[in-house]
Amino acid sequence: MAKTLITGTGSYIPEMVQRNSDFLNHRFYTEQQQFIDTPAQEVTRKFQNITGIEERRYVTQDLQTSDIGVIAARRAIEDSGIDPETIDQIIFAHNFGDVRKHTIQTDILPALASRVKHQLGIQNPFCVPYDILFGCPGWVQGVIQADAYFKAGTAKKALIIGAEALSRVLDPYDRDSMIFSDGAGASIVEYREEERDPGILASATMSHTAEEVDYLYLGKSNFPESDPRIRYIKMNGRKVYEYALSKVPQAMKFCLDKAGVDIEEVTKIFIHQANEKLDEGVIKRLYRLYKINQIPEGIMPMSVHQLGNSSVATIPTLYDRVRKGKLEGHSVNKGDILLFASVGSGMNINAFCYRV
């Protein structure tokens, strides 16, 4: 029986390192535009204790989201060994398009996926490029969407990209902005039969858009003298935290149950890299749903400490690094069962279970 396989991966980690110490001269304000008189050193210390983030990566002035998406895509194509002309779909997950340095205007005309197809030089007119806006779970949703197209018989090969340059839409006066970073990850997924039985076993997607819809949004700067017409990424951190703890474990269990996989069969869990304590809390609650209190050692690879939260890029970048032996203490091997899961603006949650 044919299944959707990840046959190649690639990623781009920006060269510019932004450490917590680089924020020591920043002046922070509340959402009500009141000056926070707590010393910046204390602000960054508390931030690191809560999130685990020590540093993050920003793109250089000459690069846009679509550019780093192309870099990751080229590496995934090379890793898979496929002919780019055989790609049926290019799915680009992002949230803000291309935002040039020193501007705040998003550019998604043409779609970033179309720009990738152009830069890759693909001539095949039946290679369809399109973008999806799904918050941080965008890359996971791209894989789920490709799997659905494969099963419908309308495609057999897809390039899934998750990339973001959040540094271009940050409010430097907002403490929450320290969580975000830039990056790109990409994968080639193919629909084919293998002698053994690897591939996607099941998937799940959930959305809550009542009071949760604006937990992440675009809003004015926290700085009192800012132009209210210019908007930046904003987050109700406490609400996002509570939502993720409550809902994500349920979606992950639903996915595993749908696949007929017991939690003890799972080798690695690749979860959205948003916040160390949040991710640890989600995993603990997932295992508690199975009445297990002891979390297996090494079950959850993490990159948030050095790379921060690069939205749609966190999971594909993390998987690429683990798959290629670039994250110490972690690896994936044939036969392993992996669980991918993410949560983000919308609010949206998704997961898929995958046998290597």
| CATH code for the domain of 53 | 3.40.47.10
Residue 289 has pLDDT above 90, yes or no: yes
Nearest to 168 by CA among 217, 104, 227: 104
Instruction: Reply yes or no on whether the pLDDT at 1 is more than 90.
Output: no
- DSSP letter for 29, please: B
Q: Are 234 and 315 part of one and the same domain?
A: yes
Number of structural domains the chain divides into: 2
The pLDDT of residue 308 is: 96
Contact 170, 219 (CB under 8 A): no
Q: Which of 177, 192, 207 corresponds to the end of one domain?
A: 192
Query: For the whole model, what pTM was predicted?
Result: 0.94
Same domain, 162 and 65: yes
Q: What mean pLDDT do residues 193-219 have?
A: 91
Length of the chain, in residues: 356
Residues 187 and 320 in one domain: no
Q: How far apart are CA 284 and CA 312, in angstroms?
A: 23
Q: What integer pLDDT is reported at residue 143 of this predicted model?
A: 98
Considering the domain architecture, whether residues 278 and 338 belong to the same structural domain is answered as: yes
* Domain span including residue 248: 199-355
The 10 Å CB-count burial string (b at 16+, else e) for 328-347 is: eebebeeeebbbbbbbbbbb
**CA gap 165, 246 in Å, rounded:** 29
SS3 content of the chain, % helix, strand, coil (to 5): 35, 25, 35
Q: Is the pLDDT of residue 121 over 80?
A: yes
**Residues 105 and 312 sit within 8 Å (Cβ to Cβ):** no
Which helix (H) or strand (E) covers residue 270, if one does? strand 266-271
Q: Examine the domain organization and report whether 158 and 260 are in the same domain.
A: no
- Is residue 166 within 8 Å of residue 58, measured between CB atoms? no
- What's the CA gap between 112 and 116, in Å, rounded? 6
Same domain, 22 and 132: yes
* pLDDT score, position 282: 96
Burial bucket for residue 49 (CB in 10 Å: 0-12, 13-18, 19+): exposed
Going by C-alpha positions, the residue among 278, 275, 272 that lies closest to residue 314 is: 272
Please indicate, yes or no, whether residues 42 and 181 belong to a single structural domain of this protein: yes
Tens digit of each residue's pLDDT (9 = 90 or more) over 189-202: 999 987 778 999 99
Mean pLDDT of the chain: 94
What pLDDT band is residue 216 in, cutting at 50, 70 and 90? very high
Arithmetic mean of pLDDT, 198-224:
94
User: In this structure, are 237 and 140 located in the same domain?
Assistant: no
What are the pLDDT digits (tens) for 178-187?
999 999 999 9
Tokens of 45: 């210390």
Model confidence over 237-286: pLDDT tens digits? 899 999 999 999 999 999 999 999 999 999 999 999 999 999 999 999 99
Identify the pLDDT of residue 160. Answer: 98
Considering the domain architecture, whether residues 151 and 275 belong to the same structural domain is answered as: no
**Predicted pLDDT at 130:** 98
pLDDT of residue 197: 80
CA dihedral 72, 66, 125, 79 (to 10 degrees): 0
Q: What is the pLDDT of residue 340?
A: 98
Of 131, 157, 192, which marks where a domain is finished? 192
